[in-house]
Amino acid sequence: MNSPGLLSDPSLAWSPFEPGSDKPWDLARVAHLHRRAGFAAPWAVLERDRRDGPKASIQRLLDGEARTADGKPAAEFESLLDQMGRQLAPAAALPRLQGIWLYRMIFTAHPLRERMTLFWHNHFATSNAKVENPALMQRQNDLLRTHALGAFPALINAIGKDPAMLIWLDSTVNRKAKPNENYAREVMELFTLGRGHYSEKDIQEAARAFTGWFVVRDRFQEISAQHDDGEKTVLGQTGRFDGNDIPPLLLRQPACAEFLCGKLVRYFVTEVDAVTPELIAPLAQHFRDSGYNVRTVVERILSSNLFHDEALRRHRVKSPVELTVGTIRALEVLKPTLPVDQLAEACGRMGQKLYAPPSVAGWDWGPSWANSTTMLARTNFVLSLLADKERANLGALAAKHGRGNNSPSFLIDLLVQDAYDRKVQERIAKASSKEVPALILTSPEYQLA
């Protein structure tokens, strides 16, 4: 794709965004921030954040709001959801597990934290299809949420002992005599360094360090008699390493911060433009200097000129979860609460089954969300949401926000802002008021973030 100027100017790209006459803090910028850093936002939040400016808006995303989408105190809501998660039976149905998370995403006072939890779920992609234990999957989800905006070293340590992860990667048995290479491979290839930054020998040696790590009756356990206590050489370092010694060796590699920052930039900034090592370098340096503090690097991204650059608007494809949760939040379809297990199934038909990513590499994202089955599923989601008159009353929504006339302008402002060119605007202006919401929500522009 054409490379907008900022992508080749790392220093300007990562400098803080300051609104100006040529780059006003307008509705389109506020909505962009919430599409990327949260799951869209209701009209009142867009209005408030337009008044308050970028700094306050970004700070609120990082800290979370005081109240949920339906006005409950944030802490009370979180502890209620934690409790629901803890009560999941090991044999609970997958849609029940998925539904709890979708419910949290819809109502949460801290959309960025859920968004980052989703990022880590994709990064440490683990599927219940193999684990077959929703209670363990929920525990992993809680772990990802705890560290979502925290220190990456703590997260990578914890995930290596997470029972769901180890079951998923067939790494519940790590005997001295025959080391299991799978976790050692994935921790380098997918979790920290990326291909090309380690050798097969590094994997084999690291696998020896992980010997003695077992999962017994759904719990992580170290069995020292099965640990290979000999010397290993991993990434140029030699020592009598055990599994705990491996993450620090990985974090010392410059490739680690570069790999993670590259993924964060694709998640928050663009899925289609060329992202060069030069662009990533200052961000990766900042990430390492902060001791791999995720909040620090995410704040840097969200505050940057690059993030707010008009030229990169809608250079991501909304994932099914972003599309459905975002639509529900923007349209305030909150009461009575949608059947979230059905919503989970709809996301599955669109290609994103939560807790069941297609492989340990997670989902492919970007253009690969779109194929004919998934596009039909998106349209069918929209049609069924709009047909649910009990929940989706768009006339009342416009009236509540003082935009009670019949023109499509309120829905355009709320959902797509500046996305349409003249021809599309004209076609929508011609549509009947019954057709307008479906046309906007199924338009190619609305599928982008």
To the nearest whole angstrom, how small is the minimum distance from the Cβ of residue 348 to another protein? 8
Tokens of residue 335, six digits: 């009461």
Q: In this complex, which beta carbon is closest to another protein, that of residue 334 or of residue 370? A: 370
3-state secondary structure of 361: coil
**Among 83, 177, 217, 224, contact with another protein (rule: CB under 8 A):** 177
Preceding omega of 336 cis (within 30 degrees of 0): yes
**Among 23, 72, 96, 266, contact with another protein (rule: CB under 8 A):** 266
Cα dihedral sign for 181, 183, 184, 188? positive
To the nearest whole angstrom, how small is the minimum distance from the Cβ of residue 103 to another protein? 24
Q: Which stretch binds another protein (CB under 8 A): 88-96, 102-110, 311-319, 388-396?
A: 311-319
Binding to another protein by residue 253, rule CB under 8 A?
no
Q: Which of residues 39-98 bind another protein (CB under 8 A)?
A: none
Please name the amino acid found at residue 137. M
Binding to another protein by residue 448, rule CB under 8 A?
yes
332: left (phi over 0), alpha (psi -120 to 50) or beta: left
What does the per-residue mask of binding to another protein show for 116-135, with x meaning CB under 8 A? --------------------
The alpha carbon of 154 is separated from its chain's Cα centroid by a whole number of angstroms, namely: 19
Give kind and range of the element (H or E) at residue 52: helix 43-52
Please name the amino acid found at residue 278. E
What does the per-residue mask of binding to another protein show for 357-376, with x meaning CB under 8 A? -xxxxxxxxxxxxxxxxxxx
What does the per-residue mask of binding to another protein show for 180-199, with x meaning CB under 8 A? xxx--x---x----xx----
Q: Which stretch binds another protein (CB under 8 A): 27-35, 37-45, 100-108, 312-320?
A: 312-320
Structural contact between residues 193 and 229, judged by C-beta atoms closer than 8 angstroms: no
Question: DSSP readout, 203-243?
Answer: HHHHHHHTTTEEEETTEEEE-GGG---S-EEETTEEE---G
Structural contact between residues 279 and 261, judged by C-beta atoms closer than 8 angstroms: no
Q: In this complex, which beta carbon is closest to another protein, that of residue 372 or of residue 405? A: 372
Q: In this complex, which beta carbon is closest to another protein, that of residue 185 or of residue 329? A: 185
Q: How far apart (Å, rounded) are the C-alpha atoms in residues 394 and 154?
A: 45
Number of residues that bind another protein (CB under 8 A): 69
**Using CB under 8 A as the criterion, which residues of the chain lie in contact with another protein when the complex forms?**
1-2, 169-173, 175, 177-182, 185, 189, 194-195, 200, 266, 271-274, 314-315, 317, 349, 351, 358-377, 379-380, 383-384, 387, 421, 423-424, 427-428, 431, 435, 438-439, 442-445, 447-448
